[in-house]
Amino acid sequence: MDTLLVTGGAGFIGSNFVRLALTQGVRVINLDALTYAGSLENLKDLPNADRHVFVHGDICDRELVDALLEEHAVDTLVHFAAETHVDRSILGPEQFVRTNIHGTFSLLEAWKKAWIRAGEPAHWRFHHVSSDEVFGTLGPDDPPFCETTPYAPNSPYAASKAASDHLVRAYGVTYGLPYTITNCSNNYGPYQFPEKLIPLTVLNALEGRELPIYGDGQQIRDWLFVEDHCQAIWAVLERGAPGRTYTVGGDNQPTNLKVVQTLCALLDELVPGSRYVPHAQLIHFVADRPGHDRRYSIDVSRIGEELGWEPSESLATGLRRTVQWLLEHGSWLEAIRRQPDYQNWLNRNYDQRASQLSEGD
């Protein structure tokens, strides 16, 4: 690995990964369209910033990607760029098909051309960052998701990620491209856009707004601290076998309600002077997400046994670090919150939910 093209490196996980990669001595070309979810605020104070080149552009732009691969002699592509929010995929799936499916296809075509032109080097790598949501949902007694679990995506987001996984695999099998895929569980930590459960809860609680819990709040997610996910991807790039996929997770499965209650308790402790203590009084049940997956759980034995990866943060330590980070980065939160799209999104997603609930009552 010498020069990495990272797509979506101004988003949540991508920006954390760029930080990690820059400490490892590689050059990083960071291609990001700066959608509502991407921000240059996430790329301030990078280590070894002279090895980082930011390019504002779209993964669907073939000419641009062709030029970047050639100009920078890229040997490793790490593909994060995607539309990622399940609720947005329910209200507007088209952009998910464009970015996640067509965008991945377009990158694969560009990569194939560059790889063939370079004489099909065996050490090149296309790494695709994917989700556990491609596997669908688990019943209470089902075994955890693993690399051989059949795909059964339930949301337009999950279906678009599943399609992209299939394309990557097909390019590996048909054209021989060396690729790897990671299917990871829910991430949380610094720089996560506050439309996702954990940062949304903290931001709303700090402002004394309701903390929306979909349905009965008994849905279960497997949560992984973002830096542990980035370390897993790095381990796969360094030591993972081409053509192999790895499921990645944090081995903890709290209910959503429990996660929100834990965040409230952390805020009670860390912001004791707030007039919203106890923050749990702000919890508010709202209409459920259509097609809401009930439970995720991940078997991490392959990545543990083959690559020696394991998470360094427990949910307790990771949530504490996340809340502390958010409290210490008020200017980041303020900049993200000021985006015009953010308030529109809250209105669109939550006003409708409140009225659905009162209709159902």
Task: Cite the active site residues.
Answer: 132-133, 157
Under the binding rule (CB under 6 A), the answer on residue 332 touching ligand TYD is no
187, 223, 234, 288, 347 from 197: Cα distances, Å: 10, 11, 26, 14, 16
Contact (CB, 8 A) for 42 and 10: yes
Phi, psi of 244 (to 5 degrees): -105, 150
Which of 219, 245, 253, 262 binds ligand TYD (CB under 6 A)? It is 219
Which of 35, 137, 155, 252 binds ligand NAD (CB under 6 A)? It is 35
Under the binding rule (CB under 6 A), the answer on residue 128 touching ligand TYD is no
Residue with Cβ nearer ligand NAD (280 or 325): 325
Residue with Cβ nearer ligand NAD (15 or 261): 15
| Region binding ligand NAD by CB under 6 A among candidate stretches 7-15, 140-148, 304-312, 314-322 | 7-15
Residue window 34-73: x/- pattern of binding to ligand TYD, with contact defined by CB under 6 A: ----------------------------------------
Under the binding rule (CB under 6 A), the answer on residue 187 touching ligand NAD is yes
Under the binding rule (CB under 6 A), the answer on residue 213 touching ligand TYD is yes
Tell me how many residues contact ligand NAD (CB under 6 A): 31
200, 248, 267, 271 from 275: Cα distances, Å: 19, 39, 11, 9
Q: How many Cβ atoms from other residues are within 10 Å of residue 7's Cβ?
A: 27
Please name the amino acid found at residue 107.
Answer: L
Residue window 147-186: x/- pattern of binding to ligand TYD, with contact defined by CB under 6 A: ---------------------------------------x
Phi, psi of 282 (to 5 degrees): -85, -10
Residue whose pair of structure tokens reads 């007694």 in the numeric block: 141
| Region binding ligand NAD by CB under 6 A among candidate stretches 18-26, 58-66, 260-268, 288-296 | 58-66
Under the binding rule (CB under 6 A), the answer on residue 327 touching ligand NAD is no
Residue window 90-119: x/- pattern of binding to ligand NAD, with contact defined by CB under 6 A: ---------x---x----------------
Strand ranges inside 102-189, DSSP E: 125-131, 179-184, 186-188
Partner whose binding site includes residue 256, from ligand TYD, ligand NAD, none (CB under 5 to 8 Å by kind): ligand TYD
Nearest by Cα to 295 from 157, 152, 145: 145
Q: How far is the CB of 322 from ligand NAD (least distance, A)?
A: 13
Q: Rounded to whole angstroms, how far apart are CA atoms 171 and 181?
A: 12
Which residues, 231 to 260, sit near ligand TYD by CB under 6 A?
256
Nearest by Cα to 168 from 245, 210, 122, 108: 108
Partner whose binding site includes residue 32, from ligand TYD, ligand NAD, none (CB under 5 to 8 Å by kind): ligand NAD
Q: How far is the CB of 33 from ligand NAD (least distance, A)?
A: 4
Contacts with 349 (C-beta within 8 Å, 6 or more apart), sequence order: 87, 91, 195
Q: Name the token pair of 126.
A: 């296309």
Q: How far is the CB of 221 from ligand TYD (least distance, A)?
A: 5
Tell me how many residues contact ligand TYD (CB under 6 A): 12
Under the binding rule (CB under 6 A), the answer on residue 196 touching ligand TYD is yes
For 336-351, the DSSP string reads HHTSHHHHHHHIIIII
Under the binding rule (CB under 6 A), the answer on residue 267 touching ligand NAD is no
89, 156, 179, 292, 305 from 92: Cα distances, Å: 5, 9, 30, 16, 40
Q: Rounded to whole angstroms, how far apart are CA atoms 345 and 87?
A: 10
Task: Give the length of the chain.
Answer: 361
Under the binding rule (CB under 6 A), the answer on residue 307 touching ligand NAD is no
Judged by the rule CB under 6 A, the positions of this chain that interact with ligand NAD are 7-8, 10-14, 31-35, 37-38, 58-60, 80-82, 84, 99, 103, 129-131, 161, 184, 186-187, 193
Binding residues for ligand TYD, per CB under 6 A? 86, 186, 196-197, 200, 212-214, 219, 221, 256, 289
